[in-house]
Amino acid sequence: MANVFERHGVMHLSASTINGWITQPALTLLKIAGISDGEAGPAAWRGQGVDRAAAKAALEPTVQEADLFALADKVFDDNLSSAINDHSADRIEKERKALHSYVSNAAGFYRGLGEKPEAEQGKVTIKIDGIAVPWIGYYDLLYADKVRDTKTVGRMTSTVSAGHCRQAAIYAHATKREPWIDYVGTKEVRAFRVDNVNAWLGQLHHAAKSLERVLSFSDDIFECCRCVYPDTDHWMWSETTKQAAKDIWQMEIQ
């Protein structure tokens, strides 16, 4: 007999799903219902390009910077050429223009660590007691005693976010390595060790159980949606999801 998650087509969980559930529950339920834009934007393309270039620099410290730039550009441009939705031309140009600064800083940082990773872009799967489906995540770089995740940021941070700590906890639990989040900006890189892994895993557990309780309300996902109420003013809401909210919650949206 399928569990509550599986009855709604949720065959696994991830940190991004639970982080979304914590910050935007209505939007997360819409995604479970199959309603989303399903496409990343220029900021995500930038992140993907930097991730690929940073990993190459870490694995091949002598690679030329021009080759790293070319790799990041290709990842960004491939995403742009395959995009279905319209994206702001100004945003595309801004992210494309800053791409090389991110890559240069990331390459210098990972070369400066003085060791090569054992693996890159690895998939992990874990079980958390009391949660009926597995958890899946993808780390960026795996070292002998550390697992690292690269985050590009438009504005540098002085602390690691709770959402990123929850994500890193999955990597740490799966790999038994010390988790680190590396924030890459256009001017510098700041790295943070994530402590109290068990506490962050506990947050994932409690949040997942709350999602499970809402999904158990009905086998009709739209009835489950009505257990919460959307904040459609948030930047994460697109025209597609706003229209769905108007129909599901009978909202009058200007």
Q: Give the residue extent of every domain in the chain.
A: 42-112
Sequence-ordered list of residues with C-beta below 8 angstroms from that of 148, at least 6 positions apart, any chain:
117, 139, 140, 141, 142, 179, 180, 181, 182, 191
Could you tell me the pLDDT band of residue 86, with boundaries at 50, 70 and 90?
confident
Q: Residue 19 is encoded by which pair of tokens?
A: 């982080």
pLDDT of residue 216: 97
Q: What is the pTM of this model?
A: 0.91
pLDDT of residue 236: 86
Tell me the pLDDT tens digit for each residue of 103-120.
999 999 999 999 999 999
Q: Yes or no: say if 216 and 9 are a contact pair by the CB < 8 Å rule.
A: no
Report d(CA 218, CA 221) in Å as an integer.
Answer: 7
Identify which of 186, 191, 194, 193 has the alpha carbon closest to the alpha carbon of residue 50. 186
Tell me the pLDDT tens digit for each residue of 196-221.
999 999 999 999 999 999 999 999 99
